[in-house]
Amino acid sequence: MKLLIKSGRVIDPANNIDSVLDVLIENGKVACLQKEITSKADKIIDASAKIVIPGIVDMHVHLREPGREDKETVASGTQAALKGGVTSLLAMPNTCPAIDSSENAELLKGIIKKSAQCNVLISAAITKSRLGKEITDIAGLKKSGAIAITDDGASVDDEKIFLKALQKAAKEKILVIAHCEDKALSKNGVVNLGFISTKLGLRGISRESEYLRVERDIGLAQKAKAAIHIAHVSCKESVEIIAKAKKKGITVTCETAPHYFTLSEEDVVGYDTNMKINPPLRAKEDLAAIREGLRSGIIDAIASDHAPHTENEKDIEFDRAEFGKIGLESGLAVCVQELIGKQILDWPELVRKISLNPAKILGVDKGQLSVGQDADIIIIDPAREFILTKETIVSKSKNSPFLGRKVKGVVEYTILSGKIVYEEVCK
Amino acid sequence: MNKEIAWVRKDLLGLEDLSREEIELILATAESFKEVSSREIKKVPALRGKTVVNLFYEPSTRTRVSFEVAAKRLSADVINIATETSSVKKGETLVDTGMNIQALKADIIVMRHNYSGAAVMLARHLDISVVNAGDGWHEHPTQALLDMFTLKEKLGKIEGLNVSIVGDIAHSRVARSNIWGLTKLGAKVTVCAPEMLVPPGIEKMGARVTNDIEVALKNADAVNVLRMQFERDDENAFPQQLEYLKNFGITRERLFKAKKNILVMHPGPLNRGIEISSEVADGVNSVILEQVTNGIAVRMAVLFLVAQGRDKKNETLN
């Protein structure tokens, strides 16, 4: 099976490529990149005026299976991923049961083998049931295929326990992904603390509850000599703390999500529960700091933090609604609209943030188009605009904060190991 | 009554969204309804054949009774639903409850809810009118309207007045609605509370902030004293009760230093001896019971206007 992608603008930051090239795919691998490939192929895609990049590696996705198949399944979530141009994703372990034992990891692997439509990478919990008390069998979980550990949704409050976990992770050479939130400070909060929380009469979540924990976790990771990655950075101070640590040469990486550089606390006015997210949508100045962090490179990656919830869990009073929003299908288009459109990043830099860097942080051989590599490739029409509506969403849950928003950049093809696994129908 | 401005809203959710003219229209309408309550037969047929449902998710006596009296004086049929006896206990969602009330062909839901934004959400889902009778810490528009009505009645105007609101500003929907309403009508609002009970950014709503009761009372034409809900302090933000009385309580000694004719208001129920001394609550400056009386006229006006607003909406749709 040979697939030839003709005349697209090929962007592959790993190999410093940004030019109009043909890409030949053979036996599921990238076979050749050059101008005017004349070799015969089983299928030829004309990609002129299109952008050809390595598939997105989304390092923060809640697939909800096992346990909450009413919100999302591995099948529906990965189908949504393909539509959004995501060819590899890291599944978060806060399922029911949590991925906190080899048995549960094997259970998840079985589901993935049966129903995943894209590459699903596994992360495991740091502590049993993510309660922050008893450290999981990190070595065993690694053997079962986990490539990172995280209690995402919660932080490990006890410093002694977290330090111990970091030390074990360092020994096992496994990445620790930190959800930075001091729940003693954020308790009962539902929106960013400030004028908007005051105006709406809602309990606020202070920025301290995030950045003090970022500072603590980086410090502990340094002591343990562990690799730490800070999830969903949302506020200015967190960016500053990470910048300072990087400057000192500490090994730390971080991600943000599209809503943190697109939406602000002001979007919560009207009590739209799809805007109820943790960490919360912050102030305008935070939004600016996140953009600047992306531009300067302090923020390494962009991940969706895809967090599906049913309508029953969202169409209720703001205080009672679940935190979180979906993002697999809107992530790229929001990035194109907000980052490329507003000249915060150019295309090669964007590809670095959504494909190459997440792959590097996770230590997987993805996110690039080197010859011989798995041909995980997406073809994007960068100029086409569309409006995100509930009806077009593939994910089981529809809780997107971008509903009704005009965005730019349509994924026309998603190719996984050389096979076209998604093709936009109404091109 | 100002004839140029027509009421077109089906709901009253808060004062933040209203224009000065809309607020003035409510107050003017209330003025014309006030006289009804002093008639021998306290009833007009303005809402005859309409059904008003009081849907209260939080215990409340005065607001619920005030709305009930207001609706009855307009000849509406009134149904009271308290959550203790309703299917809410069986886990029905707010939207489902609202849809059911709508299906019963009720015309207006008056809702009190412990969560901020609940009235906004309900109104979004329903075609019938929703009147917010207090939602969480967010807004309590009819309370602020009756406060403003009382101010205007007693002092002849609102423009240019100095009004101080004293107490737990952070958790007060009464404070928020008063700030929006009073500033729209040109009053100068000062909020006064212990530091822990001043919510961030409140000055952006147009209020001056002080932690000093002397400052708040100096030059004030009226002081609105909020109830201190010591029983609800889940954040350890409150000072000790006696300390509060000492530092922020409205006492006769404090009033001596204020303007002679300062109006003392309170949304009730009173904590005598905590935020306000009995001498002041029952004294010559107090208009607390007049507020209660005015509450009926204001709520009559609101019910009347939203019913009209909804009919107008339907007309334009047809």
Q: Sketch the domain layout of chain B as residue ranges.
A: 20-140+295-313, 141-292
**Quick check: A303 and A60 in contact, CB under 8 A?**
yes
Provide the pLDDT confidence category of residue B314 given band limits of 50, 70 and 90.
Answer: low
* Closest CB from B116, B200, B201 relative to A201: B116
Per DSSP, A281 falls in state P
Q: In the prediction, which pLDDT does B240 show?
A: 84
Cα dist from A269 to A196, A216, A314, B119, whole Å = 7, 32, 16, 14
If you average pLDDT over residues B5-15, what whole number do you get?
93
Q: What is the CATH number of domain B20-140+295-313?
A: 3.40.50.1370
Residues 283-312 of chain A whose Cβ lies under 8 A from any Cβ of chain B? 312
If you average pLDDT over residues B29-47, what whole number do you get?
94
> Are residues B121 and A271, on separate chains, in Cβ contact within 8 Å?
yes
If you average pLDDT over residues B300-309, what whole number do you get?
96
Q: Which of A193, A195, A198 to mutate to test the interface with B (most CBs of B within 10 A)?
A: A198
Residue B201 sits at the chain A interface (C-beta within 8 Å): yes
Provide the pLDDT confidence category of residue B88 given band limits of 50, 70 and 90.
Answer: low
Q: How far apart are CA B158 and CA B175, in angstroms?
A: 16
pLDDT greater than 70 at residue B209: yes
DSSP per position, A243-271: HHHHHTT--EEEEE-GGGGT--GGGGTT-
* C-alpha dihedral sign at A236, A242, A245, A247: negative
Q: How far apart are CA B24 and CA B1, in angstroms?
A: 9
**How confident is the model over A395-419, as pLDDT tens digits?**
999 999 999 999 999 999 999 999 9
> Are residues B93 and A197, on separate chains, in Cβ contact within 8 Å?
no
Weakly modelled stretches of chain A, pLDDT under 70? 426-427
If you average pLDDT over residues B227-246, what whole number do you get?
81
Provide, for chain A, the percentages of residues in helix, strand and coil under a 3-state DSSP scheme, each rounded to the nearest 5: 35, 25, 40
Give the helix ranges, DSSP H, for A18-128: 74-83, 102-115
If you average pLDDT over residues B227-253, what whole number do you get?
84
**B63 catalytically annotated:** yes
Q: In the prediction, which pLDDT does A122 show?
A: 98
Complex prediction ipTM: 0.94
pLDDT greater than 60 at residue B317: no
What's the longest Cα–Cα distance across chain A?
A: 66
Q: How far is B47 from chain A (nearest CA, A)?
A: 30
* Closest CB from A195, A200, A320 relative to B200: A195
pLDDT greater than 90 at residue B238: no
The first and second tokens of residue B182, run together, are 């009073």
If you average pLDDT over residues B215-234, what whole number do you get?
89
Beta-carbon neighbour count of residue A384 at 10 Å? 16
β-strands A2-12, A17-26 pairing: antiparallel
β-strands A377-387, A406-416 pairing: antiparallel
Residue B139 sits at the chain A interface (C-beta within 8 Å): yes
Q: In the prediction, which pLDDT does B185 show?
A: 98
> Are residues B137 and A202, on separate chains, in Cβ contact within 8 Å?
yes
- Asked if the domains B20-140+295-313 and B141-292 are classified in one and the same CATH topology, the answer is yes
> Are residues B201 and A320, on separate chains, in Cβ contact within 8 Å?
no
> Is the full-model pTM beyond 0.80?
yes
Q: How far apart are CA A8 and CA A50, in angstroms?
A: 5
If you average pLDDT over residues B283-300, what whole number do you get?
98
Provide the pLDDT confidence category of residue B89 given band limits of 50, 70 and 90.
Answer: low
Q: Which CATH superfamily is domain B141-292 in?
A: Aspartate/ornithine carbamoyltransferase (3.40.50.1370)
Q: In the prediction, which pLDDT does B82 show?
A: 84
Cα dist from A345 to A262, A294, A349, A413, whole Å = 14, 8, 6, 23
pLDDT greater than 90 at residue B233: no
- Kindly compute the dihedral angle of the four CA atoms of residues A282, A284, A287, A292, in this order, to the nearest 10 degrees: -150
If you average pLDDT over residues B261-268, what whole number do you get?
97
Q: Which residue has the higher pLDDT, A83 or B236?
A: A83
Residue B94 sits at the chain A interface (C-beta within 8 Å): yes
The first and second tokens of residue B282, run together, are 């029952």
Residues 114-133 of chain B whose Cβ lies under 8 A from any Cβ of chain A? 115-118, 120-121
**Quick check: B124 and B151 in contact, CB under 8 A?**
no
Provide the pLDDT confidence category of residue B57 given band limits of 50, 70 and 90.
Answer: very high
Domains in chain A and their CATH numbers? 55-362 (3.20.20.140)
- CA A329: distance to chain centroid? 11
If you average pLDDT over residues B178-197, what whole number do you get?
97
**How confident is the model over B117-173, as pLDDT tens digits?**
999 999 999 999 999 999 999 999 999 999 999 999 999 999 999 999 999 999 999
Angle, helix B20-34 to helix B141-155, in steps of 10 degrees: 70
Q: In the prediction, which pLDDT does B312 show?
A: 73
